[in-house]
Chains A and B, each alone.
Chain A
C-alpha cells in the first residue's frame, strides 16, 4: 500500500444544468423521436447529474437533412463570413470559459486545473486558428502551355459525420468541427455516451451565431445513433476518433458508400530518456522528470499517453527515483477542487478495465514501483472512479507494455544503446505519439526520424498547439488534425482544365 497525496481544498460550485437535453438539429432543440433519455453519470461520484436524448436512426436522418439544407448556403458563404462565425464561437467559449471548464470536469471527471488551463483555452485557440487559415487559403493554378490553364479549386465535401470521444469532449469536438466548418462543410456530430452534456451547453451558447443546420448534434448510443450516422448514404465523409475495432467497422461502412474517412485511433507511446538527460541535476533534468510523469495528465486518458518510459540503464536509478517521487506527489481528490492534480476515470467500465490491467501486469511479473491499485477516496467520492498513478517496471513483451490501458499507468524498461531504444520504441502496433529527451544535438534529430510515429515531442511532451499537424502512423490511423492540411480532408478538388485556343485539334 503506497501513500497517497490528497487535495485539501474545498471544491468549487458545480454549474447548473438542465434536467435533460434534447438533440440540437437545424438550430432547434428537438426531442428524441423515441421520447427516451439516458442518464449522464458524473465520474466524480458515479451519480447522474442530467439526462441526454437517446437518439436513433430517425433523429440522425433529421439531422442529416437539416445539414443538407444548410449546406446549400453555407457551402457558398465567403471565407470571410465563415471566419467571422468561427471567431464568434471562439469569443463565446472564452467569455464562458470558467463555466464550461467546470461543466467539462463534471461531465468527464478530469481535474479542473486541466479544463481551465488546457481543454477550454485550446478550444478557443483552435477555432481562431481555422478562422485565420481559411482567410489565407488559396487554390492553385498552373499554365500547361500558352493556351491551356488548369485551375485546382477547393470545394467542400458536403455533409460530414463526426464521432467524438469522451476524453476531451469539447476539445475533440473542436478539432473536428472547426476545420469542417472552415472548409464549408456542414456537420452532424455524435458525442460519446459518457460525455454528452458539455457540447449541448456549448450549442446553447452559440446557437445564435451559427446558421441553423451548420452544426447538428445528436446524442445516443453507438449502436443506435452512431451506426445510422456512419452508414448513411447521405454523408460525404466520416471522421472518427476512437479504437481500432470501431475504426475498422466505420471503414467497412464507408467502403459500402465509397466515401473517405479519417481515423485517429490508439497509441502506446514511448517516452525515451537518453543518457545525457542525467548529465546534470539542473532545470532540464527536472523538466525531463516532469516529462515522464506526464502519463498522469488527464488520468492517462489520452491517445498519446506516454505509457512506455524507455530509460538508459546507466541513469535508471537516478532518474526513476525522482520520477517516482514526483508521481507520488500527484494530488488526488475532488476534481472540482482547485489544487487537485488528477481526477476520476471517465466511467465505471474504464475503471474496471484499468484494474484488470493492473491485475494482468502483476501476473506477468511487472513490478509496481508506485500505485498499482484504486485510490479509495472518501468524503463523498467513494462511488467515483479513482485510480492511483501507477508505474510498472517490466519488459516490452508484457501486455501492459503493448496494450493501451487508457488510465494513469506507465511502464518503464531500460535500454543500453540508441539502436535498442529505437527498436523497443517501434515494437508496437501503434504510431501516434512519442517523446525523445536528450542533450545531444545529433540524437535530437536522428532518433525522432527513426521513430515510426506521427508526432514526436522532442524535449517536451503533451503539447497540442494549433498549426502542428497531429495524427497517426501504423494502426494509430490517418489524417492530420490541428493543422491547415486538415482542410483538405474536408474538401474535394475541382479541376477546371481550360483551353484558350481557338484552333481545333484536327482529329475529327
Chain B
C-alpha cells in the first residue's frame, strides 16, 4: 500500500511553482513559518537559500520541492494533512511568489486513524542535507 503523503498540492499552486522555477532558474523549497504577522504560512525560497538543520523536519517532497517545518511546530501539526494552495493577496516576508500578487497558503485536514498508521516517513533537515 502506498504511503500517505503529508503534503498535497493544488493544480494552481503547481502552475505558480512552474512559473517561479522558470523565473529564478532554480529548484525551490518551502519552509512552513510559525506565528506573527505573515506567519503560519508556507515560505517559498530558492532551494538552499533557507538553511535547514537538525531542528527542522522534512515532511516530504511536493511537486519536486522539499517541504520543511521546525521540529517543535511539527509536534502540533503531525496529525494533519496539508495542502499547498495559493490565494490572491499582498503578503509580506521574503517568500518569492509575493511580487506576483499571490500568496502560498496551507489548507489542512485531519488524518484518519487508518491514514495515521501509513504515513510517509519524515527526516530531519540535517538528514536531507547529508543525503544530497
Contacts and interface: CB of A to CB of B under 8 A. Distances in A.
Interface string A334-354: 000000000000011111110
A242 B99 contact: no
A143 to B, nearest CB: 46
A351 B96 CA distance: 20
A359 interface: yes
A117 interface: no
A21 B130 CA distance: 48
B105 A242 contact: no
Interface stretch (B4-12, B39-47, B57-65, B113-121): B39-47
B36 A243 contact: yes
A301 B90 CA distance: 16
A195 B116 CA distance: 42
A280 B112 CA distance: 46
A245 interface: yes
B123 interface: no
Contact of B98 (A222, A245, A364): A222
Interface in B95-114: 95-96, 98-99, 103, 105-110
B51 A252 contact: yes
A404 B35 contact: yes
A198 to B, nearest CB: 15
Contacts of B34: 243-245, 265-266, 403-404, 429-430, 475
B93 A246 contact: yes
Nearest to B39: A243
Interface string B17-38: 0000000000000011111111
A352 B91 CA distance: 11
Interface stretch (A72-80, A129-137, A223-231, A284-292): A223-231
A165 interface: yes
A245 B126 CA distance: 17
Given A166-B92, A194-B90, A243-B93, 14 more contacts: A194-B91, A222-B93, A223-B98, A223-B99, A245-B93, A248-B50, A249-B49, A265-B39, A349-B89, A353-B41, A360-B109, A363-B108, A399-B108, A403-B34
Interface of B: 31-41, 43, 45, 49-51, 70, 72-73, 76-77, 80, 87-96, 98-99, 103, 105-110
The 6 closest A-B pairs by CB, nearest first: A266-B35, A404-B35, A349-B89, A243-B39, A266-B36, A245-B33
